[in-house]
Amino acid sequence: MQPTSLAFKDNVKRALNDRALQSALALAEGGFQKNRAAAAARLPEFEALRDAAKTLKDHTLAHLDLYLEAFEQKASEAGAVVHWARDDAEARAIILEICRKADAKSVTKSKSMVTEEIGLNEALETAGIQPVETDLGEHIIQLAGQKPSHILAPAFHVTKDKVSDLFAEHHGRPRVEEPEALLGEARAFLREKYFQADVGITGANFLIAETGSIVLVTNEGNAELTQGLPKVHIALTGIEKVVPTLDDAFLLLRLLARSGTGQDFSAYTTLLTGPKRSADRDGPEEFHIVLLDNGRSNMLGTGFQDMLRCIRCGACMNHCPVYLTAGGHAYGWVYPGPMGAVLTPGFIGIEEGQHLPNASTFCGRCEQVCPMRIPLPKMMRHWREDQFQKKLTPPTARYGLAIWGFFAKRPSLYQFGTTIAIAALGLLGRAKGRFRWLPLASGWTGSRDLPAPAGTTFQASWRKQRGRT
């Protein structure tokens, strides 16, 4: 997928003026946020599970090579074929080759952000193979020619009216408006696609080293039909998804739905081990598992290793004031919100993704709700430092920081300067209590007033305060 992350600021401006998007984003508070809080409150062990999950994943990542080896061996013993891909191009090549061997005309897909990461749909279309997205949200945006704006709810930004328009245009049936009717129509339309497909492509929420199984989680049941009906199943996922045992997978599954949608458990959790057995009457004859690196191993052993704990629940974006103002498309690539602000520069480079770690007020809500306790703000700060060192930060900001740094290292000079500046600003703004314009501060005053300072510095007040106690 071609990133547009460099255009973040323009993307945000567009998003702010998009009323349909703004009304969709406003639903998150009464939906995702409320439901997550309720699910967490229903389970007394929720916080203890988060601690255990962090410990588990840290252990796994510290032994990632060994657990992947164990997974590969068990999966192969069960009859699956395990492939390795260094990058997106290798992953596309592997999948296209499997599709060609199966003489595939069409493939069904269940929602997978990793397939978005490698631009799989475009590659399939170029090769003359029709990709059919089956997740309702993915189906909607495939019809609209768009990309997901949320990792759980890809069509988060699309209004019901727009869905009616899209379905009427593409399904060749009279326009319907009720959500139930829309769902029924999508169900009927996609039903025959499952039976026509030669290959089914899914992601994998977890890989289990103990048994060589993959785990798929959906609410719609589309992954089960996607992998179960065609004669070939391909599961594409990142190397960080492995966990040691069945027990470990269920530890994480207890957190996944609660953190994301606020359900105790998703409607469907499926463990797949190997292809169709000789006596089975359904299931794929071939089962391929493609393990993708694409920048993940570069995060190991660095300050970004913690990010590899991510289980893609979506909680961070559901609670992020920036995401809920700008929407997912503004981030310009596959992964939006706080997790995207950390992952995207890792996957496509800090040059391309430089605006994303800055798209945060560091309010810390993402870290508060992350089931894997990933220190997201800290890692965004790591990227900002990296940017500064690579001189990617704009010159005005760099000079500004350099000047501030000069004074900050000289406390008496700093105090002298700030005392004068604050007193002057306090005096100037005394009449109205605020400024409508200030030199060098148009970024702030362009859209709102700057409150006038009280006239004394924090340090001065602090000294006074302490004298009193």
Partner 1 sequence: MSASGRNDARAAVMARMREALQSGRDGEAKETVRARLAASAPTLVPARADLDPEARIQLFIDQAKAVQADVERIERFADLPETIADYFRRHNLPMRLVKATDDRLDQADWNGGLLEVRAGPPEADDPVGLSAAFAGIAETGTLMLASDTDHPTTLAFLPETAVIAVPSDRIARAYEDALHAFRQAGQPLPRSINLVTGPSRSGDIEQTLQLGAHGPKRLLVVLVDEASGDAPIADIKASAGHQ
The piece of 186-194, 199-207, 385-393, 399-407 that touches partner 1 (CB under 8 A) is: 186-194
Residue among 129, 141, 114 at smallest CA distance from 202: 114
Q: How far is the CB of 416 from partner 1 (least distance, A)?
A: 48
Q: Which residues in 348-377 contact partner 1 (CB under 8 A)?
A: none
Q: Is 182 in the site for partner 1 (CB under 8 A)?
A: yes
Q: How far is the CB of 400 from partner 1 (least distance, A)?
A: 36
Secondary structure class of 131 (helix, strand, coil): strand
Q: Is 267 in the site for partner 1 (CB under 8 A)?
A: yes
What secondary structure does DSSP assign to 322-384, as a single string? THHHH-SGGG-SS--HHHHHHHHHHHH-TTTTTTGGGS-----HHHHH-TT---HHHHHHHHH
The piece of 275-283, 335-343, 443-451, 458-466 that touches partner 1 (CB under 8 A) is: 275-283
Residue among 334, 351, 368 at smallest CA distance from 343: 334
Q: How far is the CB of 326 from partner 1 (least distance, A)?
A: 18
Compute CA distances 117 → 37, 87, 214, 334, 416, whole Å.
30, 10, 20, 6, 52
Measured between alpha carbons, how far is 286 from 295 in angstroms, rounded to an integer? 28
Q: Which residues in 118-137 contact partner 1 (CB under 8 A)?
A: 134-137
Q: Which residues in 187-216 contact partner 1 (CB under 8 A)?
A: 187, 190-192, 195, 209-211, 213
Cβ-based nearer residue to partner 1, 184 or 321: 184
Cβ-based nearer residue to partner 1, 86 or 434: 86
Cβ-based nearer residue to partner 1, 188 or 427: 188
Exactly one of 199, 272, 289, 342 binds partner 1 (CB under 8 A); that residue is 272
On the 0-12 / 13-18 / 19+ scale of CB atoms within 10 A, 137 is buried
Residue among 306, 309, 385, 370 at smallest CA distance from 338: 370
Measured between alpha carbons, how far is 330 from 5 in angstroms, rounded to an integer? 7
Exactly one of 21, 114, 155, 199 binds partner 1 (CB under 8 A); that residue is 155
Q: Which residues in 79-98 contact partner 1 (CB under 8 A)?
A: 83-86, 90, 93-94, 97
Residues 6+ apart with CB under 8 A from 76: 82, 212
Query: Using an 8 Å Cβ cutoff, are 417 and 407 in contact?
Result: yes
Q: Is 107 in the site for partner 1 (CB under 8 A)?
A: no
Q: Which residues in 5-64 contact partner 1 (CB under 8 A)?
A: 24, 27-28, 31-32, 43-45, 48-49, 52, 55-56, 59, 62-64
Number of residues binding to partner 1, judged by CB under 8 A = 105
Q: Is 342 in the site for partner 1 (CB under 8 A)?
A: no
Q: Is 184 in the site for partner 1 (CB under 8 A)?
A: yes
Q: Is 427 in the site for partner 1 (CB under 8 A)?
A: no
